[in-house]
A and B are shown apart, each in its own frame.
Chain A
């Protein structure tokens, strides 16, 4: 661009003035956006720090962990996140690897299936689960187990794409053939060749599904299960400050998880960049 503009001086000042005006508009857009997005977060923090008579203290946060039900539901949500991640990995890592190795023609089809949960709104899925599994065994349908099983489905659009991208980035066929030729079983190849090479993708898929589970409200609420988000909304009917603190906690943990993911992602990218 500079090569062209440098030919004459007149258009150059013209572009420069336009650039300046553009920069002001850019800055203005970003400032207004930042205000709109930061104010509610700032207000939440302020709200959760409110004490008695217009003072501010940490009492709400101190009381949060002592609130009836808070700790139980926090633990339920963490267990759900762990369960969802485990089922997702056990199901999806071998499946996506198998598709890449043996059924590459079906990649589009599998991707289409994995995007389907976006088409079925969570409310409708919850309704369907209620109708379809009414007679199911009570240790599944009467407990959060059903939530973990459904959250795996809800997370599919994220998890499939992450694992698929990771598998596309490694020379999978060569690696697997090398392993098989050296006499390794399929399981050994999976656990000692594929999984280590997919570290970053597996971590990202886990973080994305965990983040989703920690904030999921719709299905849990409609199936009458108690999780942290459900508890938060119920608590909000009595004590707005406690509920705001709890919802901030959910947001902060989610944010931290995703930040972790971007840190690891960058490190992975840098490493592959260097090796090439």
Chain B
């Protein structure tokens, strides 16, 4: 009897989650499911694999390759540079101005700078940009460098990748206890031995995890590229947007869904890697 009432009570408790679950189901679940289901349907509603075939076909496969290249490149550079900056900042006194500025700036730039970022780079190294003018005055002509090509996109993406790396890796750097270093040096270890045998192995999982997170972040990014290039460079999100605005052949309405499914898979895989590495890190980080 008591068992029954406690079970009833637990059921009532679960009812409290209903508004939240319903909200997420409607505004996240339904759109996602309709993308996934749509990827396997033709225009008449029948089941087909032709959308996926088309998404893996010529112009779109290329977009996946370019997106992967840009994401991997900006993740790698961003991770290394971000780590260096995080190191530099962690050498400064805790609670100091430098840390405050770097953490706020990282937050703003990593998460909130989509559209402003594109215009900032046009203002800096676009054809009429400030840096372009300065270098021109020095006799250096960089007008051949296109902000809208691969190198340009890489340079701009780093502007949000590096701050994200700083945000993500900083806790791990802070978690390296000074005592471990003292213990190592007490045992006669050199600086290099400490990093090779203690610090490095401890930092490797969070570093690899951050690499995955940065990859997913760049892969999913749309706003900056769209605002910057007007959709010239063939990235997957840009292609999906093009399909959505109807710039494809008739009978390919569900192509956007197939591309979307591909994106979800890539991003989910990268984030799963991130989560896995995070769990390994959390064992020593506290």
Contact indicator A46/B186 (Cβ below 8 Å): no
Number of interface residues of B (CB under 8 A): 84
Identity of the chain A residue whose Cβ is nearest the Cβ of B155 in the assembled complex = A36
The residues in B between 167 and 221 inclusive whose CB is less than 8 angstroms from any CB of A are 178, 181-182, 185-186, 191, 216, 219-220
The A contact surface, by secondary structure, is: helix
- Is there a chain A Cβ closer than 8 Å to B285's Cβ? no
Question: Which residues from 102 to 129 on chain A have a C-beta closer than 8 Å to any C-beta of chain B?
Answer: 102-103, 106, 110, 113, 116-129
Is the beta-carbon distance between B128 and A240 smaller than 8 angstroms? yes
Is B35 in the interface zone, CB < 8 Å from A? yes
Q: A224-246: contact bitstring with B at CB < 8 Å (1 yes, 0 no)?
A: 00000100110011001001100
Task: Report the bound CA distance from A30 to B89 in whole Å.
Answer: 8
A4: CB under 8 A from chain B?
Answer: yes
- Interface pair B244/A130, CB less than 8 Å apart: yes
Question: Bound state CA distance, A92 and B268, in angstroms?
Answer: 25
Q: Digit string of A1-21 for contact with B (CB within 8 Å is 1, else 0)?
A: 100100000000000001000
Q: Is the CB of A125 within 8 A of B32?
A: yes
Distance from A159 Cβ to chain B, minimum over Cβ atoms (Å): 12
8 Å CB contact of B130 from A42, A132, A216: A42
**Interchain CB contact (< 8 A) of A40 among B13, B120, B219, B267:** B120
Contact between A33 and B81, CB atoms less than 8 A apart: yes
Say yes or no: is A250 at the interface (Cβ < 8 Å to chain B). yes
Could you say which of B43-51, B53-61, B103-111, B136-144 contacts chain A?
Answer: B103-111
Q: Is the CB of B130 within 8 A of A250?
A: no
**B151 interfacial contact with A, CB 8 Å:** no
User: Which of A117, A217, A250 has the largest count of B CB atoms less than 10 A from its CB?
Assistant: A217
- Min CB distance, B217 to chain A, in Å? 9
B248 contacts A by Cβ under 8 Å: no
Task: Assess whether A119 is in contact with B267, with CB atoms less than 8 Å apart.
Answer: yes
Interface 9-residue window, one of A64-72, A146-154, A195-203: A146-154
Residues of B within 8 A of A232 (CB): 115, 119
Partner of B27 from the list A127, A153, A258 (CB cut-off 8 Å) is A153
Question: Can you list 8 residue pairs at the A/B interface with Cβ under 8 Å?
Answer: A36-B158, A47-B122, A119-B264, A131-B31, A218-B226, A218-B237, A240-B122, A251-B113
B positions within 8 Å CB-CB of A: 13-14, 16-17, 19-21, 23-24, 27-28, 30-35, 38, 81, 84-85, 87-89, 91, 98, 100, 103-105, 107-109, 111-126, 128-131, 158-159, 162-163, 178, 181-182, 185-186, 191, 216, 219-220, 222-223, 226-227, 230, 237, 240-241, 244-245, 256-257, 260, 263-264, 267-268, 271
Other than the known A22-B91, A216-B223, A218-B237, what 11 A-B pairs have Cβ atoms closer than 8 Å? A33-B88, A37-B163, A39-B124, A39-B131, A43-B124, A46-B130, A103-B17, A116-B28, A124-B240, A124-B260, A254-B112
